[in-house]
């Protein structure tokens, strides 16, 4: 009897269950695994032995359900030197459940966990294999061309910017709309807003990413220029923009609330206040917030299909005996969009951040280049065939988590 | 030669172009009208004679494009006593363009304009007819069962709440998520959040509407109770909730920004701060913002179809010689959902607000009743067959407005 076990970790995406569905389908089709087990709430839940058999789960429905079907955790596994008992516990539980391969679906923190467990196995002659399956809307994992979850987030962001364009265009007045997009360290998500542009609209007019120091005076100049040209101006901005000293823009407008606490506004709200104050013009801000990572109803078919493929591919790599690796995707060409799957040593991805290359941002630092657009465009293509029930998406039952 | 002219006004909805498409299709099929003209930017654009021929517009594509294809205005037409020259100008332009019927698609301010123009026509023996076609996501127009645009907004809100449920469920911790929904005076939109509940989730756990005075202490009690039961708690709240003195909740936490200006947080942010301060628990807020009124990609098929029907019906009423009326929809039964169209005197709708009946809110004032859910459920049914291009919704070209 040999089982595989899979868990999910980090923040939600619309495609993380598609990766899970891929692993389950791979296990269903494999001669190597009898059962596919799922640990609830990541490595933390595994240590509490919160395990369920998901071998026969409805993979089609699962693949279109956003956020983690198995729950998540933010637990950072200590080193084996510091906490050997945790490692012993994890391996005991895995062995007790006849687990020969552990798949961990997550971002760079989760890859760090895979790295540590694999190293412990090697050092202690344990044969259990550990394979990382990437996901993060932030698209900031190294080695791989892009991460599962990013395409769906990019599609929702671009759709929202297009719809904001239709919303802001209706009044013949001058106004500024700031749209705040996730991304503390990397601007992949905010840059995707550029996809909203089409044959009738250049919205967003300006895009600011964390990779370039934000200069408030230049921002005012850029805005005045765009207001003169277009009247209604829409700005896409990463939450993580910082000034040339590396200080977050949000830190500059902390205000005291009625409890006497200093409260940071969001980046969008901060820029809205600056625009109102310095230009005296109608301004508002929109924070896309949680929906950009869980709007399963607007997922990218390309993203969902690639996520399933990476999950299935992980199982084939387990069958080949691999461990201590992360699944990667590599691009051969943009047009036609052609890729292949591979693996990389887990330590090449764990704990590292991939930024938007400086050459994919224009010289002024207020827009992305055509290269960026060519890169992200294939990732948002295609719409999922989501089932609806009573007017709402028919997602997987997550009673186990509620 | 007789033409009809149509214009749009007020704030965007996902269905306001479906009403426009209905008027255009009605005019195309009518023996009465040669051309269907559109005035850009409402009554304000009409006075500037910004008119285009939209007789041959692609009605199918138009009906699925959110926000106003013709643009909008927030102009309040003065009385004929105060500004007779404006009325003369409007009638001159209408006559010059051979307009025999003017259709105005909008909310209660727009109905006020229709009322004034109709009264002026009657007083001055002008034969031009004026017909109001309702729209507003707020659903606060009187006489009619519900307003075009509301169903699509309700569907997006409920979808978002369902996806927020999947997002918040993943961590086994205690937390509070406040979701702020539009509605300054009426709670129709926030109440629609209740539709997110299904066989595995009771999210949102609490719903607060402007119709019931908000009591902060009771809110804390309600929250503690729900946190004990569910851990992760999601609250849906109208932006317009007020305390028992009628003071907006947002007014209680004004903070000074770095410019020394008093800045109001949004309602969601205000409650988030209160929860953090009083319960010392992880809290966050999400403002659904612009997307709830322009997420055409998630429109309700029922809403779109009804909006088209009301536009077409308006043309048949024009053919019958009616003027000074607003199109209305009346419900015969919830299950099966059965309605019929009619008209009402424009003055029964102009400037009035329809609130959520107190009996459709529970006694505690922290949820809606089953009657509310039965009322709104039919309005979100069905999904539109939106075309996509390059991964994004293929909406109408709005170059005229940009």
Complete DSSP assignment for B204-240: SSEEE-TTS---HHHHHHHHHHHHHHHSEEEEEEETT
Q: Do A166 and B65 touch (CB under 8 A)?
A: yes
Instruction: List A residues 208-227 in contact with B (Cβ-Cβ < 8 A).
Output: none
Contacts of A201 in chain B (CB under 8 A): 398, 402
- Share the mean pLDDT of chain A: 95
User: Has A140 been annotated as catalytic?
Assistant: no
Percent of all residues in chain A with a pLDDT value above 90, rounded to a whole number:
91
The one-digit pLDDT tens for each residue of chain B (402 residues) are 799 999 999 999 999 999 999 999 999 999 999 999 999 999 999 999 999 999 999 999 999 999 999 999 988 999 999 999 999 999 999 999 999 999 999 998 899 999 999 999 999 999 999 999 999 999 999 999 999 999 999 999 999 999 999 999 999 899 999 999 999 999 999 999 999 999 999 999 999 999 999 999 999 999 999 999 999 999 999 999 999 999 998 876 555 555 555 556 689 999 999 999 999 999 999 999 999 999 999 999 999 999 999 999 999 999 999 999 999 999 999 999 999 999 999 999 877 899 999 999 999 999 999 999 999 999 999 999 999 999 999 999 999 898
User: A29: burial class by Cβ within 10 Å (0-12, 13-18, 19+)?
Assistant: exposed
Is residue A128 helix, strand or coil?
coil
Q: How confident is the model at residue A253 (pLDDT cuts 50, 70, 90)?
A: low
Position A260 pLDDT exceeds 60? no
Return d(Cα A225, Cα A57) in angstroms, integer: 55
Q: Do B41 and A170 touch (CB under 8 A)?
A: yes
Q: How confident is the model at residue A122 (pLDDT cuts 50, 70, 90)?
A: very high
Q: Do B258 and A261 touch (CB under 8 A)?
A: no
Peptide bond into A247 cis (omega under 30): no
Q: Do A289 and B286 touch (CB under 8 A)?
A: yes
With beta carbons less than 8 A apart as the criterion, state whether B313 and B326 touch.
Answer: no
Interface mutation target, options B158, B162, B170, B253, chain A, most CBs of A under 10 Å: B170
Per-residue pLDDT of B18-67, as tens digits, reads 999 999 999 999 999 999 999 999 999 999 999 999 999 999 999 999 99
Of B170, B195, B382, the CB nearest to A68: B170
Of B259, B263, B392, the CB nearest to A162: B392
Return all residues near A230 (Cβ < 8 A) that are at least 6 apart: A202, A205, B402
Q: How confident is the model at residue A254 (pLDDT cuts 50, 70, 90)?
A: low
Of B12, B163, B277, the CB nearest to A295: B163
Q: Do A259 and B273 touch (CB under 8 A)?
A: yes
DSSP assignment of B322-366: --SEEEEEEEEETTTTEEEEEEEEGGGTTT--PPPPGGGB-TTSS
Q: Do B12 and A166 touch (CB under 8 A)?
A: yes
Q: How confident is the model at residue A286 (pLDDT cuts 50, 70, 90)?
A: very high
Strands A3-8 and A35-39: parallel
Q: How confident is the model at residue A349 (pLDDT cuts 50, 70, 90)?
A: confident
Return d(Cα A400, Cα A69) in angstroms, integer: 9
CA angle A118, A124, A127 (to 5 degrees): 60
Return d(Cα A128, Cα A9) in angstroms, integer: 20
ipTM entry: 0.96
B253 touches chain A (CB under 8 A): yes
Of B155, B259, B391, the CB nearest to A391: B155
What is the predicted pLDDT for the residue at B292?
Answer: 97
**Beta strands in A94-253, from DSSP E residues, in sequence order:** 99-106, 129-134, 175-181, 206-208, 232-238
What is the predicted pLDDT for the residue at A73?
Answer: 93
Q: Measure B159 CA to nearest chain A CA, in Å.
A: 6
Of A170, A256, A295, the CB nearest to B72: A170
Per-residue pLDDT of A203-248, as tens digits, reads 999 999 999 999 999 999 999 999 999 999 999 999 999 999 999 9
A159 touches chain B (CB under 8 A): yes
Q: How confident is the model at residue A257 (pLDDT cuts 50, 70, 90)?
A: low
Would the pTM of this model clear 0.95, i.e. be above it? Answer: yes
What is the predicted pLDDT for the residue at B259?
Answer: 56
Interface A-B, measured as beta-carbon pairs within 8 A, has a size of 222
Q: Measure B18 CA to nearest chain A CA, in Å.
A: 15
A41 touches chain B (CB under 8 A): yes
Q: Measure A1 CA to nearest chain B CA, in Å.
A: 30
CA neighbours closer than 13 Å in the CB half-sphere of residue B400: 18
A323 touches chain B (CB under 8 A): no
Return d(Cα A71, Cα A26) in angstroms, integer: 21
What is the predicted pLDDT for the residue at B196?
Answer: 98
Q: Any idea which of A117-126, A153-162, A263-272 has the lowest mean pLDDT?
A: A263-272
Instruction: List A residues 273-302 in contact with B (Cβ-Cβ < 8 A).
Output: 273, 277, 286-291, 293-298, 300
Contacts of B198 in chain A (CB under 8 A): 389-390, 392
Q: Which of B109, B138, B140, B303 is catalytic?
A: B138
B71 touches chain A (CB under 8 A): yes
Position A57 pLDDT exceeds 80? yes
Interface mutation target, options A149, A163, A292, chain B, most CBs of B under 10 Å: A163
Return d(Cα A148, Cα A110) in angstroms, integer: 14
Q: How confident is the model at residue A259 (pLDDT cuts 50, 70, 90)?
A: low
Of A155, A170, A199, the CB nearest to B71: A170
What is the predicted pLDDT for the residue at B262?
Answer: 56
Q: Do A45 and B259 touch (CB under 8 A)?
A: no
Contacts of A261 in chain B (CB under 8 A): 273, 277
Nearest CA among B76, B117, B145 for reference residue B351: B76
Interface mutation target, options B20, B166, B205, B288, chain A, most CBs of A under 10 Å: B166
Of A169, A256, A390, the CB nearest to B256: A256
Q: Do B297 and A159 touch (CB under 8 A)?
A: yes
């Amino acid at each position: 009897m040999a089982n595989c076990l899979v868990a999910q970790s980090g923040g939600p995406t619309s495609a993380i269950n598609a990766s899970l569905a891929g692993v389950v389908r791979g296990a269903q089709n494999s001669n190597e695994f009898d059962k596919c087990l799922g640990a609830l709430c990541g490595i933390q839940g595994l240590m509490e032995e919160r395990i369920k058999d998901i071998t026969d789960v409805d993979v089609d429905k699962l693949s279109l359900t956003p956020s983690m079907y198995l729950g998540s955790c933010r637990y950072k596994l200590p080193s084996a030197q510091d906490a050997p008992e945790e490692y012993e516990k994890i391996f005991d539980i895995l062995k007790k459940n006849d687990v020969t391969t552990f798949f961990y679906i997550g971002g760079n923190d989760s890859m760090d966990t895979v790295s540590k467990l694999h190293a412990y196995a090697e050092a202690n002659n344990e044969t259990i294999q550990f394979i990382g399956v990437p996901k993060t809307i932030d698209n900031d994992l190294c080695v791989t061309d892009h991460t599962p979850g990013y395409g769906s987030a990019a599609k929702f962001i671009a759709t929202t910017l297009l719809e904001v364009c239709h919303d802001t265009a209706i009044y013949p007045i001058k106004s500024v709309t700031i749209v705040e997009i996730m991304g503390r360290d990397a601007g992949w998500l905010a840059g995707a807003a550029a996809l909203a542009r089409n044959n009738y609209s250049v919205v967003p007019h300006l895009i600011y990413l964390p990779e370039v120091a934000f200069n408030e005076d230049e921002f005012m100049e850029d805005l005045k220029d765009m207001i003169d040209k277009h009247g209604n101006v829409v700005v896409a901005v990463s939450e993580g923009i910082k000034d040339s000293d590396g200080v977050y823009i949000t830190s500059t407008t902390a205000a005291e609330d009625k409890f006497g606490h200093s409260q940071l506004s969001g980046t969008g709200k901060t820029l809205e206040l600056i625009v109102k104050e310095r230009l005296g013009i109608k301004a508002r801000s929109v924070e896309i917030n949680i929906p950009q990572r869980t709007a399963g109803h607007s997922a990218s078919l390309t993203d969902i299909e690639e996520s399933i493929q990476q999950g299935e591919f992980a199982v084939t790599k387990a069958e080949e005996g691999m461990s201590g690796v992360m699944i990667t995707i590599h691009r051969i060409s943009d047009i036609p969009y052609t890729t292949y799957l591979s693996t990389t040593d887990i330590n090449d991805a764990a704990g590292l951040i991939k930024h938007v290359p400086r050459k994919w941002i224009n010289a002024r630092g207020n827009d992305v280049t055509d290269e960026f657009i060519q890169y992200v465009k294939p990732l948002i293509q295609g719409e999922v065939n989501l089932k609806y029930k009573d007017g709402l998406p028919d997602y997987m039952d997550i009673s186990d988590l509620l």
